[in-house]
A and B are shown apart, each in its own frame.
Chain A
């Protein structure tokens, strides 16, 4: 069933992981470098969620960071408060982060997904600001959430391996979703909502589904983030964080998984790489250089780096071609 098209890249990804993990185990990389690698994987998961919502379903969201934050806080509370830092609770905490973010995505999605384009953007923006304010004041209800002072004392449980395999799982699940009938229903809403309706697609259901899947992925990324940096502050999840991820998804190319992966990793490496390359007194120029890079990319490739393009196993299946051969009357070629 699994073709070479799938197996070879999977083996390559595994090889990359083994090399990096060996380097980490052998202490060839310092803690900072390991953190950057791990964060890059987390960012892939985070951005992939927005790509499902905006890139594939066409629903403009400016509040993705809210779900990232909800996942982060929810999972941090599970490990820190419920299980007193017990490392075995980590999978449960991540699951709690996914479930909370997805559930809130569902609840908020039902009313606001009726809105279109800019109006939806404003509504999600408002939701994002609301969540940030809630985080700021959460200590008045749950003291452990720390409010504006931040949530400290989260056990450091996110290793590079956790982040890598979470990102890999996210990529595989999203790919399988998109290349299924449910995924085509999601994409049809982006392409033409009225036509999708006329094809019997319950557009409300599929908009909600995409929003829930995207929010859940943000929640997973948030959980990993919380246990990587072990400190959460509401400002980590403000409007600018929603803009960051939006830029990465647009830069990579809407509706391209390959593009999201490249742009997310590239974005983290560029920001942090400049920190290493630039002399101390020029560090502030990072925030000039990276917008410039983005402007140049958007001029050269208006549909994003990989707009409409997928590579390797992320391309749509070749099932089609094999079946087309099967349609040709009795050529005797069928295996």
Chain B
């Protein structure tokens, strides 16, 4: 299987990614790669710089040094919305839905970049507007169906229970039609059972939508089951990488998580 993966083309590659906030070294010389169809995890204790890596890849921060390539092209200097338009979607650690909008509208907004009708045809309700609007509504409902949320499409997003908000956020990210999906602690706040079901769902959508997925998690147990490769970060630096098995037995990782002198 290892050969099989390495023969696939690289979707995302960061090269020597470094980010300083003033004198604080948040991320130092991080090089990660995600290949086509791969599910890769970044793990590490709190404050290791995992989310900063996501914010760098999605263009929210501009790196102090280093380069980010998507399908071979540099996206380092792009604005966040341009990065999304190139096919990178993400979810947030502390769920960021459009709270006052309906579940359906949350997903329809993600579809916006595929809309062709102009402002004027929307304002006068030109026939092409109606046709396209119906199509995109239908597609949005299809996405909601996959996540078991179609029945709740008219609900305000803020009224959904926590687990459904998480699912809606993933559905919304998928509606931007990404080739690479970044999930920031998707299982945060879930019990082990819910987390396991979510991971199964993530595996399922990866196959169904032909995605490459990079996911952050700080509970090691959650990612061990589904990730093909794992990067471990601590204090802003990569300290290990490899298959889940290799990671589990890596003394540096054990030290980062449990401290020195254990085992």
Interface residues of A, Cβ cutoff 8 Å to B: 1, 173, 176-177, 180-185, 187-188, 191-192, 194-203, 209, 255, 308, 319-320, 323-324, 326-327
Contacts and interface: CB of A to CB of B under 8 A. Distances in A.
Contact of B99 (A180, A191, A199, A209): A191
B157 to A, nearest CB: 9
A159 B261 CA distance: 87
A319 B134 contact: yes
B5 interface: no
B54 to A, nearest CB: 10
Contact of B98 (A177, A187, A327): A187
4 nearest A-B pairs in the assembled complex, by CB-CB distance: A180-B122, A191-B98, A200-B84, A195-B96
Interface in B157-195: 172-173, 176
Contacts of B138: 323, 326-327
Interface of B: 58, 60, 79-81, 84-85, 89-90, 92, 96-101, 104-105, 108-113, 115, 117, 119, 122-125, 129-130, 133-134, 136-138, 141-142, 145, 150, 153-154, 172-173, 176
B52 to A, nearest CB: 15
A177 B125 CA distance: 9
Contacts of B125: 176
B41 to A, nearest CB: 20
Contacts of A319: 133-134, 137
B122 A192 contact: no
Given A184-B109, A197-B80, A327 B123 contact: no
A180 B80 contact: no
Q: Point out which of A183, A191, A198, A326 has the most chain B C-beta atoms below 10 A from its C-beta.
A: A198
B99 A197 contact: no
Contacts of A177: 119, 122-123
Nearest to A194: B96
A56 to B, nearest CB: 11
B208 to A, nearest CB: 18
B123 to A, nearest CB: 5
Contacts of A188: 98, 101, 109
Contacts of B79: 197
A195 B92 contact: yes
Contacts of B81: 196-203
A197 B84 contact: yes
Contacts, number: 117
A325 to B, nearest CB: 11
27 contacts: A180-B122, A180-B129, A181-B108, A181-B112, A181-B136, A184-B101, A184-B108, A185-B109, A188-B98, A194-B60, A194-B80, A195-B97, A197-B79, A198-B80, A198-B81, A198-B92, A200-B112, A201-B109, A201-B112, A203-B81, A209-B119, A255-B100, A319-B133, A320-B104, A320-B154, A327-B141, A327-B142
B262 to A, nearest CB: 39
Contact of A181 (B100, B123, B133, B172): B133
B107 to A, nearest CB: 10
A196 B145 CA distance: 22
Given A194-B96, A200-B110, 10 more contacts: A176-B122, A176-B125, A182-B115, A185-B109, A188-B101, A197-B60, A199-B112, A201-B113, A323-B134, A324-B141
Q: Point out which of B105, B113, B129, B133 has the most chain A C-beta atoms below 10 A from its C-beta.
A: B105
B112 A185 contact: yes
B134 A196 contact: no
Contacts of A181: 108-109, 111-112, 115, 117, 122, 133, 136
Given A196-B109, A327-B141, A182 B119 contact: yes
B169 to A, nearest CB: 9
Given A319-B133, A324-B141, A198 B84 contact: yes
Nearest to A181: B115
A320 B130 CA distance: 12
Contacts of B123: 173, 176-177, 180
Contacts of A184: 101, 105, 108-109, 112
Contacts of B150: 324, 327
B12 to A, nearest CB: 16
A199 B172 contact: yes
A199 B97 contact: no
Nearest to A322: B134
A175 B129 CA distance: 14
B119 A199 contact: no
Given A192-B98, A320-B154, A323-B137, A182 B122 contact: yes
Contacts of A197: 60, 79-81, 84
Nearest to B121: A180
A320 B7 CA distance: 44
Given A180-B122, A203-B81, A324 B153 contact: yes
Contacts of A1: 130
B100 A308 contact: yes
A199 B115 CA distance: 13
B44 to A, nearest CB: 22
